[in-house]
Structure 1
């Protein structure tokens, strides 16, 4: 991940200082120097780095600090706040309005990933209820229209382009006029890639802008181009005055600090980060969440939004949990849902504390092991899938048959069944707690009702069930036990992952549409299996 090394180095510098028994000015200067070096090596502009160091030093002035101040907390908060300020231009990005045509034009360098980003953004708005479409005004690059057509067809998004018209301004105007008449709400115009030294292409970009009169112009910046990003962004800003930035290829291992410099230089907000080649690999950018993720503090809001966009099917599993049941089929469905969430490292970056434990783990290897676990489930009969796993203990020959049928080892089948039994135990405890609470709620009456309910919720929370104040509807610890699951996948070392039940998972689950009252949308079917 771009900037992952930067985050690790900043984190290490702050941690080393705050762990020290005595924090003095010399140690503080040493930390600032390490943070500055890390930022410069990640291609962040030297002037910005100097400004950041000066701001941190001004806030944490050792000579003027009162004796009672917690220096460790102050330093941690100041570093965090200044990093947020570095990527926050304090400008509101454009938000399309429903019921009217919103024209969004894309500009940027060749090879930055504009065409793919156009389709991702159209799909993003489409999934949020907007009528979105695409216009290909790139008549310069051979195959540009074919690429956009393939992407749009795959994502089921209407598109417009021409194989005969060579003037991109004419194509853009015709496409926008057509879709405006058809009452489309988000019209995204893709343009040719161009460099700041290509004056004719810059003039062409301004001609397209004049022809379509966009409500928003977005510059697509490749995270891997380094310090050139700032100069290019300034040139585009002067010519096209873009109002937002999308940074692509942040799933690579480049330094990526140049993109941060471009944001600071143009005072333009980043609206999205491209995190991969898949249509779903587009993350909404928020300065605080970005820095939290950078420093390994997680991004739970991003995780919630990502899971919501996938519309995972949880109805059967939730129904079983309320009854205190967790079958092998439930485990299979949860494994399938984890696969849909994308690379494990991406998920780990969103969950506090997990990114460090995932550091030595390979996405490809983890994904392959998840697939093997699904193959094991797919080699079972319906009777075995709908069981609590005891069938295999009573008849061990079933494990041998399943291992052969799935091309795996008996040990892997045993590991999967161990995971299922552990989660079944959690479901049983939680289902019982829910029933007790529901019975108690119906029996409660009088002025002490709220007090009794609060006491019961507290007891349930301490047992690892639903947290927070939302009643008995949450799932608490019933997200897959990531600790043992990651051990099975070969990651996390001996420490395991943090217990998911320790977070305020109830509120998160309710937002995902997984609460007891909600149902979630139908997801992938189960396919054919042996009887």
Structure 2
């Protein structure tokens, strides 16, 4: 994952310092140097890194610190604030408005992923109630219209383009006029990929801009572009005056710091980042959340939005838990929900501390572990799935039959049933508490509205302020179970609640050590037997 190694190195440097027995100016200088080396190696502009170094050292002046002050906390906060400042141009991007035509034009280099990102963005707004459409003004690249057509059809988004008209300005103007008449609210115009040395293509880009008069022009930047990002983005800025950046291909293995340099050079906000090839792999960018994930502090608000956008069906499970019941079928439903959330590496960045605990664990290993658990559940009868698990203790031969039917081992079946028993025990303890929580959420507006968003914003702020252990090494990890209950414990009236991730992750690893138990044994299913 792009920037994952950078985050690991910065995190390690801060943690080494905060755990150090003697926290003096020499140790602090060593930490700042390591952070700067990591940024330079990740292709962040050297001048930018030197400015960051000066700013952090200025913020933590050892000579002026009061005798009893918490130096660790001050250093952690300085690092966080200045990394946020690095990716925050302090300019607000355009916000589309309902009940009016919002025209968004895309520009960028060839092969940066513009066409795919256009579809992702149209789908993103469509899922949020906007009437979205696509216009293909790329008449230069062979197959561009076919690609957009396939993407749009897959996402069920109306599109416009031409196989006969070769003038992109005409296609763009006709498409935008057509969709404006049909009262579309988000009109996204895809243009040809170009290079700063291709003057004719740059002139064409300006003509399209003058023809469609976009409310927002977005530049698409490939995360792997490296040091060239700054020069290219400045060339586009001087010609097309784009007002926002989307960084694509952040699921690759490149350094990725060049994109950060482009933001600083053009003083332009990043609005989204592409995290994969799927249409749902587009995340809204917020500087605080980005740095929070980079430093292993998680992005709770992003996790809530991601889970809610999936519309996971939790109604039956939440009802059972409020009654003090947790069946094998409930366990299977939760496993299914985890699989819908996407790659574990993507989720790990959102959950405080989890990315560090995952280490170099492969998404494939985690996904295979989940699949094998699903195979076990699928080999059970309806009676077994709807049971509390006691019948397996009374009739152990059932486990042998299920292991054979699912192509797994009896031990794996035992581990899964042990997790179900553990969660059933938790459900018993939570009986009544869940009902009260749900009542409270309903009384405050359903738990899904503004109140929950305020709770999440406040919680994220607390994590970012480095107070109470939000930062690794700053006093311990927040209680995951508590955090997840805050996110959706009662389900907000059913149908959208977030499962208790600390327990769900236990299922996958079998129950290991501290922090988030079980992650260490995830690949081999160790430690889960009771």
Same fold (TM over 0.5): yes
RMSD (Å), alpha carbons: 2.6
**How many angstroms apart in 1 are the aligned matches of 2:40 and 2:25?**
22
* Aligned-partner SS, 1:172: helix
How far is 1:35 from its partner?
1.1
How far is 1:469 from its partner?
12
- Relative to structure 1, the CA distance from residue 8 to residue 190 in structure 2 (aligned partners, 3 Å threshold; closer, same or farther) is same
Please give the per-residue CA displacement for 1:401-443, whole angstroms capped at 9, x wherever unaligned.
222222222222211111111111111111154569999xxxx
**How many angstroms apart in 1 are the aligned matches of 2:518 and 2:361?**
19
* Aligned-partner SS, 1:481: helix
Output aligned runs, 1:403-414, within 5 Å.
403-414=403-414
Question: Which stretches in structure 1 are left out of the alignment for 5+ residues?
Answer: 440-460, 501-531
1:515 maps to which residue? none
**How many angstroms apart in 2 are the aligned matches of 1:376 and 1:76?**
45
1:497 maps to which residue? 516
* Aligned-partner SS, 1:126: helix
| Residue 356 in structure 1 maps to residue 375 in structure 2 | no
Q: Could you tell me whether the CA contact under 8 Å between 1:379 and 1:402 is conserved in 2? A: yes
**How many angstroms apart in 2 are the aligned matches of 1:47 and 1:212?**
38
**How many angstroms apart in 2 are the aligned matches of 1:331 and 1:105?**
45
Q: Could you tell me whether the CA contact under 8 Å between 1:234 and 1:266 is conserved in 2? A: yes
2:49 maps to which residue? 49
| Residue 145 in structure 1 maps to residue 132 in structure 2 | no
1:298 maps to which residue? 298
Question: Which stretches in structure 2 are left out of the alignment for 5+ residues?
Answer: 440-478, 520-530
1:24 maps to which residue? 24
Which region of structure 1 is more displaced relative to structure 2, 401-410 or 358-367?
Answer: 401-410
How far is 1:20 from its partner?
1.9
**How many angstroms apart in 2 are the aligned matches of 1:465 and 1:12?**
24
Q: Could you tell me whether the CA contact under 8 Å between 1:423 and 1:480 is conserved in 2? A: no
Output aligned runs, 1:394-433, within 5 Å.
394-433=394-433
2:111 maps to which residue? 111
How far is 1:486 from its partner?
3.4
**How many angstroms apart in 2 are the aligned matches of 1:36 and 1:438?**
47
**How many angstroms apart in 1 are the aligned matches of 2:27 and 2:99?**
57
Given the two structures, how large is their TM-score scaled by the length of structure 2? Answer: 0.85
**How many angstroms apart in 2 are the aligned matches of 1:189 and 1:150?**
16
2:241 maps to which residue? 241
1:481 maps to which residue? 503
Please give the per-residue CA displacement for 1:506-530, whole angstroms capped at 9, x wherever unaligned.
xxxxxxxxxxxxxxxxxxxxxxxxx
**How many angstroms apart in 1 are the aligned matches of 2:168 and 2:68?**
65
**How many angstroms apart in 2 are the aligned matches of 1:217 and 1:404?**
58
1:196 maps to which residue? 196
Given the two structures, how large is their TM-score scaled by the length of structure 1? Answer: 0.85
| Residue 268 in structure 1 maps to residue 272 in structure 2 | no
Q: Could you tell me whether the CA contact under 8 Å between 1:483 and 1:496 is conserved in 2? A: no
Please give the per-residue CA displacement for 1:231-280, whole angstroms capped at 9, x wherever unaligned.
10000001100000000111111110000000000000000010001111
**How many angstroms apart in 2 are the aligned matches of 1:267 and 1:485?**
45
Which region of structure 1 is more displaced relative to structure 2, 408-417 or 349-358?
Answer: 408-417
**How many angstroms apart in 2 are the aligned matches of 1:462 and 1:88?**
29
- Relative to structure 1, the CA distance from residue 189 to residue 431 in structure 2 (aligned partners, 3 Å threshold; closer, same or farther) is same
2:209 maps to which residue? 209
* Aligned-partner SS, 1:393: helix
1:2 maps to which residue? 2
2:460 maps to which residue? none
Q: Could you tell me whether the CA contact under 8 Å between 1:354 and 1:498 is conserved in 2? A: no
- Relative to structure 1, the CA distance from residue 115 to residue 468 in structure 2 (aligned partners, 3 Å threshold; closer, same or farther) is closer
Q: Could you tell me whether the CA contact under 8 Å between 2:263 and 2:269 is conserved in 1? A: yes
Q: Could you tell me whether the CA contact under 8 Å between 1:482 and 1:497 is conserved in 2? A: no
* Aligned-partner SS, 2:141: coil
1:258 maps to which residue? 258
Please give the per-residue CA displacement for 1:138-161, whole angstroms capped at 9, x wherever unaligned.
111111111111111111111111
2:228 maps to which residue? 228
- Relative to structure 1, the CA distance from residue 354 to residue 480 in structure 2 (aligned partners, 3 Å threshold; closer, same or farther) is closer
Which region of structure 1 is more displaced relative to structure 2, 368-377 or 268-277?
Answer: 368-377
- Relative to structure 1, the CA distance from residue 495 to residue 465 in structure 2 (aligned partners, 3 Å threshold; closer, same or farther) is closer
**How many angstroms apart in 2 are the aligned matches of 1:67 and 1:95?**
47
Q: Could you tell me whether the CA contact under 8 Å between 2:369 and 2:508 is conserved in 1? A: no
Output aligned runs, 1:11-160, within 5 Å.
11-160=11-160
**How many angstroms apart in 2 are the aligned matches of 1:468 and 1:161?**
47
- Relative to structure 1, the CA distance from residue 23 to residue 247 in structure 2 (aligned partners, 3 Å threshold; closer, same or farther) is same
* Aligned-partner SS, 1:125: helix
1:370 maps to which residue? 370
**How many angstroms apart in 2 are the aligned matches of 1:173 and 1:107?**
16
Q: Could you tell me whether the CA contact under 8 Å between 2:322 and 2:433 is conserved in 1? A: no
**How many angstroms apart in 2 are the aligned matches of 1:159 and 1:307?**
29
1:507 maps to which residue? none
Q: Could you tell me whether the CA contact under 8 Å between 1:109 and 1:195 is conserved in 2? A: yes
Q: Could you tell me whether the CA contact under 8 Å between 2:487 and 2:498 is conserved in 1? A: no
